[in-house]
Amino acid sequence: MTLNTEQLIAMDQAHVWHPYASMDNPPPAYPVASAEGVRLTLTDGRQLIDGMASWWCAIHGYNHPYINEAMQAQMSNMSHVMFGGITHEPAVKLAQRLVAMTPAGLDKVFFSDSGSVAVEVAIKMALQYWHACGKPEKNRLITIRNGYHGDTFGAMAVCDPVNGMHSLFTSVLAQHFFCAAPPLGVHRPCATEDLAELKSQLQANHEHIAALILEPIVQGAGGMRFYSPDWLAGAAELCKQFDVLLIADEIATGFGRSGTLFACDRAKVQPDIMCLGKAITGGTISFAATLTSAHIATSISRGEASCFMHGPTFMGNPMACAIANASLDLLEQSDWQSQVANLEKGLEQLLAPAREFSFVEDVRVLGAIGVVQVTEAVDLGRIQAMLVEEGVWVRPFGKLVYVMPPYVMNDEDLAQLCGGMLRALQGYFA
C-alpha cells in the first residue's frame, strides 16, 4: 500500500523520532519522494532546491548515474562482508587513494561507519598511543570552544560544553581542557595573543594532554565560524613544542568544501590523526575513515594490547568503499576547484544584500559555505515552512541560517536558493 502525504506525516509523527526533535508535539517532517541533481521532490509534487547537500554530503548532487552504477556492480558481488581477517579490493583501493590525497605522513587508514565513530576512533588512537609510549597519564584532550565533533560520548566530551548541544550530559562526560576559539576571519593575521590561552594551557597541562582536537579553519555545527590558517599553523607548532598530538576533524571540510581539498591544506599543516566522513561517499551512504601515521600505528601495535582496540561491525563495508571510490573518481575527474570557487563568488554576491538587514549580525562566505547570522534564534518550524514555500531546502539552527550546496549547483539554481533564503528571512523578521 502506498501512503499519501497526509498518511506519511501522521505515521511519521506517531512513530519516528527525528534528530534533535521532540516527540511531545513533534514538528511535521516533509516527505520526500525522490531526489535528482540538486532537487528534492516532495510527495505532494513540490520541488525544492537543496541548499544543505543532505548535511553537507551530496557534493555531486543526487542520483548520480556513475555512483549508482558502482553501487549496483558491488551489490551484485557482495554488499557486505566482515572486515576481521578479510579484505577486499574496494577497501584496499580506497585506503591507497586516501593516503595519496591527504597531507603527508597519514599512511594508515581505519574505516568506520559514521563521523562520530571516526572521532571516537581518533580519540582512542591518541590515548592508546600514549599508553603504549609509557605515558598513560596523558589521557585528556584539549580543544577549542565552539567546536562540534559528533553525538557519541567521546565526541560529545570535546564539543563546546557551554554553547554546544550537549550541556545536559556534562556531569557524565570525560573532562577535558577547553580554550578560547580562534578569532573570526580567514584572512586575519594571527597575533601572539590569539594563541596565548592555548599556549598557557599546554604549558601547564601538557603532561596530561594526549591531543589537541579541532575542526581546521571551519567550525561547523558549533557556530559556522571561519578562522585563520595562520592560527591553525601556530596551534600545530605548539603541539609539537609540547609533545601533544594534533587531531584534525575534517568530516565537514574534507573533499573540497572550504576551497582546498582539505582545510589543513590552507595552513600546510600535517596532523597526526585526521577524521574524514560526510562527503567521502558523495552523500550516498554513511561511511568514515580515521587516518594516522605509521609511527602512531606501530607504537600502538607494540603496546600492551598488541593491536588497536576497536572494530565496528560494518567497518570496511564493501559497498560503501565502492561508492567512496566512485565519488572520488567524480571529484578527481571534475574541476571541483572551479565549481567551489564559482559557488563562493556567487554566495558572496547573492548573500551580500543581507548585510543591510537590521536583523542580521554577520554574513560570511568561504568556499561552498554561506552563512547569515541573525540577531536572535529562529523558530525552526516556522522558518522551515517559509523556506519550503520559497521552493528551497535550508535547515537553520539557532541564529544561523546557512547553505552548503552541492558543488554541481548552477548559477540559476544558486540565485533561486539564496533569493528564497533572503525572502524567507525578511518575511520571518517582518
**Active-site amino acid positions:** 20, 148, 249, 278
Whether residue 265 sits in one domain with residue 152 = yes
- Give, in order, the Cα–Cα distances in Å from 216 to each of 7, 51, 143, 260, 345: 44, 22, 12, 12, 22
Residue 163 has pLDDT above 80, yes or no: no
CATH code, domain carrying 246: 3.40.640.10
Residues 45, 134, single domain; the answer is no
In a domain, 294, yes or no: yes
Residues 79 and 212 grouped into a single domain: yes
Check whether residue 56 and residue 82 sit in a common domain: no
Packing angle, helices 89-101 and 318-333, rounded to 10 = 40
- Residue 241 within a domain: yes
Written as one string, the DSSP assignment of 198-233 is HHHHHHHHGGGEEEEEE-SSEE-TTT-EEB-HHHHH
Question: Do 188 and 266 fall within a single domain?
Answer: yes
Residue type for 345, please? K
Report pLDDT for 166: 79
The C-alpha cell at 68 is 549508482
Residue 15 lies in a domain: no
24 in a structural domain: no
What is the reported pLDDT for 164?
73
Q: Taking residues 19-44, what's their average pLDDT? A: 94
Cα dist. 222→58, 147, 252 in Å? 21, 5, 12
- The answer on 381 and 260 residing in a single domain is no
How confident is the model at residue 387, as a pLDDT? 98
Q: How many domains does the chain have?
A: 2
- Facing residues of 47 across strands? 41
Domain boundary among 333, 355, 389: 333
Mark whether 318 and 348 lie in a shared domain.
no
Q: What was the pLDDT predicted at 334?
A: 96
Please write the tens of the pLDDT for every residue from 22-33: 999 888 899 999
17: left (phi over 0), alpha (psi -120 to 50) or beta: beta
* Cell digits of residue 423: 525572502
Is the residue at 142 inside a domain? Answer: yes
The reply to whether 20 falls in a domain is no
Which residue segment(s) compose the domain that 399 sits in? 31-60+336-429
Task: Indicate which CATH number applies to the domain containing 364.
Answer: 3.90.1150.10
For residue 78, the number of C-alpha atoms closer than 13 Å in the C-beta half-sphere is 13
Are 49 and 107 in a shared domain? no
pLDDT of residue 1 exceeding 80, the answer is no
- The gap from C-alpha 86 to its chain's centroid, in whole angstroms, comes to 29
Indicate whether 88 pLDDT > 90: yes
pLDDT of residue 161: 86
Whether 180 and 297 map to the same domain: the answer is yes
Do residues 305 and 189 share a domain? Answer: yes
Q: What percentage of residues in the chain have a pLDDT greater than 90?
A: 96
Q: Are residues 309 and 324 in the same domain?
A: yes
- What is the Cα–Cα distance from 214 to 303, expressed in whole angstroms? 26
Nearest to 262 by CA among 272, 273, 270, 254: 254
Q: With cut-offs at 50, 70 and 90, classify the pLDDT of residue 127.
A: very high
Last residue of a domain, one of 333, 348, 374: 333
Residues 372-417 pLDDT 10s = 999 999 999 999 999 999 999 999 999 999 999 999 999 999 999 9
What pLDDT does 162 receive? 80
Residue 294 pLDDT grade (very low, low, confident, very high; cuts 50, 70, 90): very high
385 shares its domain with 321: no
Q: 369: which strand partners?
A: 366
Domain final position from 295, 312, 333: 333
Predicted model pTM: 0.97
